[in-house]
Structure 1
Amino acid sequence: MKTYVITGGTDGIGRAVAQRYLEEGQEVVIVGRSADKGEAWLDAAAQRGAVARAHFMHADLSRLSRTGAVLDSIRSSFAKVDALVLCARHFRTTRLVTAEGFENTFAHFYLSRFVLSHGLAHLLESADNPVILNIARPGGEGEIHWEDLQLAREYDGHRALMQGGRLNDLLGVAFTQTRPGTKVRYVLLNPGTVNTSFSGQYTPDAMAQLDTIRRSAQSVQEAMAPILKVLDDPPIAPLSAFVRGVPLDPHGPGFTIEEARRLHLHTQRLLAG
C-alpha cells in the first residue's frame, strides 16, 4: 500500500487526486483549511468502507506553526511517504501579514511547500519510487522581487502568485541540488487554468474577472491526466517540469542554480529567525 500526502486536498485537483488513490486502495492524507470539508471527505470515505485509510489534517498552511504541526504528525504516524502532492493555493487581493510576520501568499504558496518538501524528504526516501508533485506554474514569466520578496512596498495579488510560481521553480532546483543522489523525483507541473473553487479573498472586480475565467477553464477531470501520469510513473530525471503534460526544460532561464541557491539560503535564514 502506498501513502499519499496531499495539500489542498479538500477541493479541486487535490480532492480529485485524493479520491482517485483512496478508491485504488491506497492510504491518503489530505491537508486543508476547511474543517467542514475535511470532515465531509472522511464521512464519504467511511461510507465506502475506506475510513481506516483516509486521514484529514486541519491546517492553514500560511501559518508555519501549523505547517510544522502537520509535518510532526505525518512523521509520527507513517513509516514512509510515496508521494507528496502540493496543491494548496489561496489568492488574496489585499496584502495580509500573518501573526508570525510573513506575507500570506509568500508563506502559504512558497514557505509551506519548502518546509514540507524538505521536512518529508526522509520519509520519501523510505519509499520505493517517491515523488514530489508541486502544482504551481513552472516556466512562468513572473518577476522575483529579490529586495522585497514579501511585496511590502507594492503588493498585488496576481504579482504575488506569479512570483510564487517562480519561487517554486527554484525550490525544485534547490531540492535536487542540496540532495545529490536522492531517489526522490521532484516534478513541477502547471495544469493550465482549471475550474476549481479558486480559494481566496477577492474584490467584486476581481470576482467578476474570475467568473469570466471560469467559463473557459478546463474541468478538474480534464486536468487530471498529466497529474496522474506523473504520480503513477514518476519521471527518471531528478527534476522535471511540465505545462499541461508538455515537458519544459528545467535547466533553462528561470531555473538557474545560482538563483536557487540564493533563495534556499534566504529561506533557511527566514525560518531560522
Structure 2
Amino acid sequence: MARTIVITGGTNGIGRALARHYTERGDHVVAVGGSREGGRRLREAAPQARFVRADLSSLRRTRALIERLATEYPVIDALVLAAFRFNPVRVETEEGVEHTFALYVLNRWLMAEGLREPLERAPAPVIVNLCGAGQGGRVHWDDLQLKDNYRGLTATLQGAAASELLGTAYLSGRTRYVLYNPVFVATGLHEPFRQPLRGLMRVASAVFAQPVARAVPPIAALIDHPPAEPLTAWKKGKPLPLAVDRDQARRFAEILRTVTRSALP
C-alpha cells in the first residue's frame, strides 16, 4: 500500500533525494520548499512528487501549512524534517525571530506537534529529524535567539542540541522520533557564504562530503522500519547514545510555546 511522506526541505539535497526515492517506489510524497526554483528542480528529479511552496521560517505560514496538510492528508506515515539554511550573519524573520532558530527549531517543533494526529493514524508512524545530533552543541538558555555575539556555527550547534530536546519532549503515542545526523553531505552548504570562503567551502565539499545518494539508504531504512524505541539518535547509520533531561525538554517546549505566542499574538 502506498504511504504518504511529508518532507520539509524536500526540494534540495537529502530531502529531494528522499522524495525521488519514495516516488520511484510508488509512495505519495509531499515536498515542501520555499522557492519556485526549488520546485522546478524537484519536478526534474521526482516528477511524481507534489510540491508545496511555503516559507518554513515563518510561524504564520508554518501554521497555515500544518492546517492544510492535516486537512488534505488525514493519515501521514512519515514526516521528514530537513529544512535548513546556514546563516553566516544574524538575520531576523518578518516576525522578529532569528532565522536559524525559526527554521531549525520552531518550525520543526510546530510541524511535529501540528501533525501528531495524522501521524498517529498511520500503521507505523515515524518522524525523522535530520540534524546534528551528537555534535556537542548546547542551548543558550539566556539568549536563545543569540542577540548577543551571534555566530552561524553557534546557531547551528544550538539547533542540533535543541533537536535532542524536541525529540524528548515529543514522546507520547505510537509515533517514533528519530534524530539523524548525516554528517557532511554535498548539499550546497557553500552557497550562503561570500568569496573567498564560498570557494573554500565548495572545494571542501567536493573533497570530503559524501554524495547525497549515499546518505539516503540508511535514512530510508529507518523510515521503512522505524526503531522499536520511542526516541533514537543516529550518526551515518550508526546508533548514538542519547541522554537528555526530560525536565529540561519540557522546559524547552514551554519556552517555545511562549516564543510562538509572542511572535503570533
Q: For the structure 1 residues 242 and 208, does the alpha-carbon distance in structure 2 shift closer, same or farther, using more than 3 Å as the test?
A: same
SS at match of 1:66: helix
Q: Distance in 1 between matches of 2:261 and 2:50?
A: 30
Aligned to 1:86: 81
Question: Is the CA contact 2:81–2:128 (under 8 Å) kept in the aligned structure 1?
Answer: yes
Aligned to 2:176: 185
TM-score by length of 1: 0.91
Q: Distance in 2 between matches of 1:60 and 1:154?
A: 26
Aligned to 1:5: 6
SS at match of 2:80: strand
Aligned to 1:223: 215
| 1:200 to partner: Cα distance | 5.5
Question: Is the CA contact 2:190–2:202 (under 8 Å) kept in the aligned structure 1?
Answer: no
Q: 2:64 is matched by which residue type in structure 1?
A: A
Q: Distance in 2 between matches of 1:130 and 1:19?
A: 20
Q: 1:114 is matched by which residue type in structure 2?
A: W
Aligned to 2:120: 125
Q: For the structure 1 residues 200 and 165, does the alpha-carbon distance in structure 2 shift closer, same or farther, using more than 3 Å as the test?
A: farther
Aligned to 1:264: 253
Q: For the structure 1 residues 144 and 209, does the alpha-carbon distance in structure 2 shift closer, same or farther, using more than 3 Å as the test?
A: farther
Q: Distance in 2 between matches of 1:56 and 1:134?
A: 20
Q: For the structure 1 residues 45 and 245, does the alpha-carbon distance in structure 2 shift closer, same or farther, using more than 3 Å as the test?
A: closer
List aligned pairs for 1:1-273, cutoff 5 A.
1-42=2-43, 45-46=46-47, 50=48, 54-176=49-171, 179=172, 182-198=173-189, 201-214=192-205, 215-250=207-242, 252=243, 255-273=244-262
The ranges of structure 1 where at least 4 consecutive aligned residues each deviate by more than 3 angstroms after the TM superposition are 42-46
Q: For the structure 1 residues 45 and 194, does the alpha-carbon distance in structure 2 shift closer, same or farther, using more than 3 Å as the test?
A: closer
SS at match of 1:76: helix
What do residues 59-104 of structure 1 show as CA deviations (whole Å, max 9, x unaligned)? 1211111211211110121121000001111011110111101000
Q: Distance in 2 between matches of 1:35 and 1:173?
A: 35
Q: Distance in 1 between matches of 2:200 and 2:223?
A: 32
SS at match of 2:123: coil
| 1:258 to partner: Cα distance | 2.1
Number of aligned residues: 260
What do residues 246-267 of structure 1 show as CA deviations (whole Å, max 9, x unaligned)? 11122x2xx2212211111100
Q: Distance in 2 between matches of 1:217 and 1:7?
A: 22
CA RMSD, Structure 1 to Structure 2 (Å): 1.5
| 1:236 to partner: Cα distance | 0.5
Structure 2 unaligned regions, length at least 5 = none
- Sequence identity of aligned pairs in percent? 40
Q: Distance in 2 between matches of 1:200 and 1:183?
A: 38
| 1:225 to partner: Cα distance | 2.2
Question: Is the CA contact 1:90–1:199 (under 8 Å) kept in the aligned structure 2?
Answer: no
What do residues 125-174 of structure 1 show as CA deviations (whole Å, max 9, x unaligned)? 01000000000011221122110000001100111001100001100000
Q: 1:3 is matched by which residue type in structure 2?
A: T
Q: Distance in 2 between matches of 1:228 and 1:11?
A: 16
